Every structure is written in structure tokens, then in C-alpha cells.
Amino acid sequence: MLLRALASCRHITRQLDQSLCATAEIYIQPTRHKMSKKPRLRKPQEFGDKSKWQKTDPKASVKVKKVRELSEEYLNRRVVDDVWIKKQYPPRYHIFTVGEAIDMHREMAQPSMLDNQDGLVYMDMELNMRTAKKTKFLREVSGTIMLPHRFETGQQTRIIAFTKSAEDQQKALDMGAVMAGGKDLIKQVGTKMVTTDDIDILVCTVDIYEELQSLRSVLKGLFPRKSAGNIGPDMEVLMDHFLNSIKYQSTKAAEELGKLQIVIGRLNMPTEHIEENVAEYVKTISAQRSPTIETFIKKAAIICPPSTERFLLKTSEYTEPSQKPEESTAVEEEGKKPNTDSEMNKESVAL
């Protein structure tokens, strides 16, 4: 009896389980696995020198080197021998005048050495291109100059002359112009039969200036201007000026730094003539600087290819004072008598 009762109970529970599984919905709730250990915190990344990983701008300004302090012992050193190491002596022993630099280049140009006794002498300059505004700089320093003492540069200047007069056209051709003409030459330039690559300098007389206006967009920088001096009434004077003058143009090393190389003479010229040419260059170039800049020529050196020697010049001799506006200051003298009636009344009241 007991066995039958147990069997019947199992049968009933089995039927109940089947009925519950058929009718009821089973929900399984996911449980998140909890870490037994706490997560390890990482040390933040540290950057030392930013210049190692930051991108550098190629147009960025040149970094100015810090000037090292010179000891008294270094400044008091004296040169004893004819040959010495530059680094071991103060700067006054390797900064020269124009005459000293020319004499040393002549020693190297002897026939037993470079054999370059009539070589061209150049002056390399670094220019301060800053202006009164901190964000504005000079684009370039350029122009033409007539030196007081002329010499052969070995360069041929291609000049085209525009004038209506047949006589002036013949004068220009006789003096060395590549082409000379009037309206016909204007048409050739307008149709690009003559391109700007064939022209170094363009000169014109006043009578044809209005007809040249149609070529302004074609000629661009070559178009005649009064400031450039390539327009005037006398063709002979124009040709003489540009045939015997020298053209110069600076390049940009940085926004605030320009470089300019100019030819100043030949080694077989008298030293005084070369010095006067340098003075004329400095006077002409300094006129294009900003009036608020004190030192326009930052560095200058004399070179004479094929020699690799560079002799630095004393730039202080070629630095003109800045043209800053003078502030008017009124200095009152002691015991000065009052001029106006109001001042006299004030003194009487005070007494």
C-alpha cells in the first residue's frame, strides 16, 4: 500500500511539472561577473621636450641664438703671431674695414695662388626687414644704382626703348638697345611676339607713355614708372643711366631677415674707389628701410670668388641714425615772468 501511494505521488508531481512548463514563461536574468581585484590605474603620459614631437613650421622665424657672456680674460687676449685661431680671440681681431678686406683678398689673388688679380669683389649683407608694425615686413629691397666709379661687370643688359621719334629710336639702337620702336613695337609686345623673358629693362619717352597703358598687364613689373627712373624726355640720358647702372634685388631668408649680394668693384681698382662705391650702395639701400629701424644692415662681408674667404665688416660705420620724430619739450627757466593776464592774476592772488 505504501509503495502504491509513493508511485501515485510521483505521477502527480510529474504531471504538475509538465503542465507548469507548458503554461508558465521562464525569465533568465543575466548577472554581471564581478572582478575580485580592483582595476590598475595607468600613469598619465608625460612629454618632455615639445620640439621632439611637435610639427615645426618651415616658414617660422629664425631662432635667435643666445649671446654667451665673454670673460674678461678672453676680451683682453692679444694676437702675437701672423696666424691665429678665430675662436680663441675676441671679435675685434676678425672684423675689418673695406680697405683691409680688399688688401687680404689681393694677397690671395696673386699669380702664385689664385691668379685672379682683376676679379670681381662682392658684398654680402643681411638686412633687417622689420617695419613700424610688428606683423608687417618689407617684401624686398631692389632697384638700380649708378656707382661713382664704373667697372665692367661682365653682364649684358637687354634694354628695349619705346619712343615715337625716329631719331631717338636710332640713338637707342646705337647706344646698345636690343630693340627700339613705337606703335609697331607695342603691337609685337601685345601679341607676345616679344615676351618679357627677352627684356631686362624697358625705357620710354613721355610722348608714348599713353599708348603703353595697354601693356600694363603684360609688362607688370617692367612697366615704366617715375620712381624707377625709366621714363623721361631725353632718350640718351635714359640709355646712359641703365647701361652703366647695376640692378640689385634682395631675397628672403625669413620674414624679418633679407639677404642681398651686390658687386662693388674689381681687385685692380684703387681701394678708395671701392670704398666710395660701398658708401653709395649703403646710402641708396638705407633709403628703402623703415624710418623706425635703427640697425638696417645686420651683417656684411666682403667676398671675392673663387676664394672662399669671407671678411666681416664693421657695420657700425655704415649705419645711419633712425629718423624718429623728435618730441618737442618745453623747458621752463627759473624766474620766468608770466606772459598772460591770467597767470599774473594767479600770482597776485597767491601773494
pLDDT at residue 126 tops 70: yes
Predicted confidence band of residue 167 (pLDDT cuts 50, 70, 90): very high
How high is the pLDDT of residue 247? 86
pLDDT at residue 159 tops 50: yes
| Tens of pLDDT, residues 256-291 | 899 999 999 999 999 999 999 999 999 998 888 888
Half-sphere exposure of 306 (CA within 13 A, CB side): 5
CB 250, CB 127: distance < 8 Å: yes
How high is the pLDDT of residue 64? 52
Rounded CA-CA distance 59/99 in Å is: 38
pLDDT at residue 294 tops 80: no
Mean pLDDT of the chain: 77
Q: Is the dihedral of CA 222, 226, 230, 235 positive or negative?
A: positive
CB 129, CB 293: distance < 8 Å: no
How high is the pLDDT of residue 149? 92
Nearest to residue 264, comparing CAs of 158, 142, 141, 150?
150
How high is the pLDDT of residue 84? 74
How high is the pLDDT of residue 226? 84
The answer for 300, left when phi > 0, alpha when psi is -120 to 50, beta otherwise, is beta
Mean pLDDT, range 242-251, rounded to an integer: 88
pLDDT at residue 342 tops 80: no
How high is the pLDDT of residue 289? 86
CB 100, CB 93: distance < 8 Å: no
Rounded CA-CA distance 297/312 in Å is: 12
Q: Which residue has the higher pLDDT, 339 or 17?
A: 17
pLDDT at residue 105 tops 90: yes
Predicted confidence band of residue 93 (pLDDT cuts 50, 70, 90): low
- Between 53-67, 69-83, 333-347, the lowest mean confidence (pLDDT) is in 333-347
